[in-house]
Amino acid sequence: MRRNGRVADALLALLSRDWVGVPVAVLVLVVGVGVGLVGGGAGWLVALGCLVVAAGVVLAVGAARHLVLVGRGAGAGGAPGRLVGVGGRRMHVLAEGVAGDGPTVVWMPGGHAPGEEFGQLHAMMAARTRSVLVDRFGSGWSDVGPFPRTTAAEAEELVAALEAAGERGPYVFVGHSFGGLLVANAARRRPDVVAGLVLLDPTPLEVIAFAPPNRLVAGMRRDFLLTAVRHLFGVHRGRGRGGRTGHFCAAASIFAELSPTGLAEVGWETVVYDGDLGDLPLVLVIPRDLTGGDTVLAAARDAAEAERIGRFYLGARTRYLAASTASRVVHTPAGTGHDFPTEEPGFVVGVVADLLSELRGLSP
């Protein structure tokens, strides 16, 4: 299994290089010319060679377009924060506001999104205290970083980036979804720099291991890979800094964990078990119901199984409460689902501010 993983990591590392489309296009052109020359008088081989050459030209034009768009995106303006060295590569850290006598707030959005996904929350919090956004390797302004991308590695890189940027703990880590799993891992590894955790409907790994198949999650890694290939040959869609293929490759790499087989390989390093966080103040913020959860319920064969799936997901949502003896749950406003941080940013900032006030009151 690991051997296959090393091959996949090597391919992702190659695909993450924005220039690799050029030699691929050249190779196709050479093959096309070769087929035409070898064909001699065979008309069908000459025609095939012409088709391959035409495909090579299209790929070459697309690869050149991709490099132009990447260059244009990189030149659209400097990074808003600092690029700091972590393991010989650069990570982007944007820190604003004044901490005063309280902890610094560090945000981590879900998926493998860049820190700017929480830009609104960051701006609101920076008006109250010190607030920090960090781009994981392979997102935002940060370098792509080594492969494979793993939650365990990114937890260590997060703390290293904060230290390299000169930020001083203690920190309150705030993470949403997959970002919640990441900051919980960072807290387990470095409890000395963490004052508290706010987990915004964090990913419970029981869902990956035991839930019925989720077509949305299963398809995400494939979609990231396909998007990387499309961008490599100039088919850019949506926003982003020129659509760097490394961003999609990094996401595809780390999402390999989100499968039963992937989790089996990294479980001991990635799962935050009962009691792992001691008495660290932990606020679990979750919806009361499965609003917006039609995708997971779609796996049910009948009403009875739908009810069982609902119980499973609602129960799994609370698992992080057992990680600390100082945990509590806060429910999101009625009608909100998993994406409540973007739907109710004021509510989220209020929850974090409440924890900051409590921590200030506990300080000697």
Helix (H, G, I), strand (E, B) or coil at 225: helix
Q: How far is CA 363 from CA 20, 138, 167, in A?
A: 54, 37, 19
Residue 335 tokens read as 């009608």
Non-local (6+) Cβ contacts of 362 within 8 A are none
**Looking at the domain covering 84-219+238-362, what would its CATH class be?**
alpha beta
Closest by alpha carbon to 282, among 190, 196, 180? 196
Lowest average pLDDT, out of 66-70, 75-79, 238-242, goes to 238-242
Question: Is the pLDDT confidence value at 74 over 80?
Answer: no
Residue 364 CB neighbour total at 10 angstroms: 2
**Where is pLDDT greater, at 264 or 160?**
160
pLDDT digits (tens, 9 = 90+) for 3-22: 567 888 899 999 999 999 99
User: Measuring CA to CA, which residue among 271, 121, 242, 116 is closest to residue 182?
Assistant: 271
Q: pTM (2 decimals)?
A: 0.91
**Nearest Cα residue to 174 out of 118, 105, 238, 234:** 105
Query: Residue 1 has what pLDDT?
Result: 47
Omega within 30 of 0 (cis) for the link into 170: yes
Determine which of 259-263, 332-336, 343-347 has the lowest per-residue pLDDT on average. Answer: 259-263
* Segments making up each domain of the chain, as ranges: 2-75, 84-219+238-362
Look at residue 76 in the predicted model and tell me its pLDDT: 58
Tokens of 194: 């963490």
Task: Tell me the C-alpha to C-alpha distance, in Å, between residue 262 and each of 96, 109, 180, 206, 312.
Answer: 37, 22, 19, 13, 21
- 3-state secondary structure at position 241: coil
